[in-house]
Amino acid sequence: MKRGCFVAALAPLLLLGATSAQANPGGAAHVEFMFRDADANRDGVITQAEVRTASTRHFRKDDLDNDGMLSRDEVRQQQLRHGADQLTPALQAVVTNNAFVIYDVDGDGRITLENYLQSQVNMLLQADFDKDGQVTLKEARQLHGVDAR
């Protein structure tokens, strides 16, 4: 089951095709868990403001040395905590590198809070299939290729 949580927790990597939540029986449940974490007002949709709030909380937790940036090692540790430890070392490196590239939206080799927030908003916009400026659980499941339980 830990591997199931890993697939959905690494949302950015799903966009790159590094893994498939569709083949993961726990994927839908974890997408729902992540959705509920971000849906602060429990209205059934996630807005950019909610994504920014949840992502700020996650960034601060992942910024282990509190320097306001995520290093490659901090991203690696983040990914390991989310289940990459179940992968081979070679795949762990791929996961870390892909996450780093996604989070480093300006490509300067540093991941600031603003970089991280923008990467998360970008993912939200990719899930906004009906282009109404917010994401429903159905759209989140669609983005991750999983069906409801």
Query: What residue numbers bound the domain in which 54 lies?
Result: 2-144
The CATH number that applies at residue 23 is 1.10.238.10
In a domain, 149, yes or no: no
Query: How does pLDDT run across 47-68, given as a tens digit for each residue?
Result: 999 999 999 999 999 999 999 9
pLDDT confidence tier of residue 29, bands split at 50, 70 and 90: confident
In a domain, 47, yes or no: yes
pTM: 0.77
Dist. CA 11–CA 52, nearest whole Å? 16
In a domain, 16, yes or no: yes
The tally of domains found in the chain comes to: 1
Query: How does pLDDT run across 6-28, given as a tens digit for each residue?
Result: 333 444 433 333 334 444 556 78
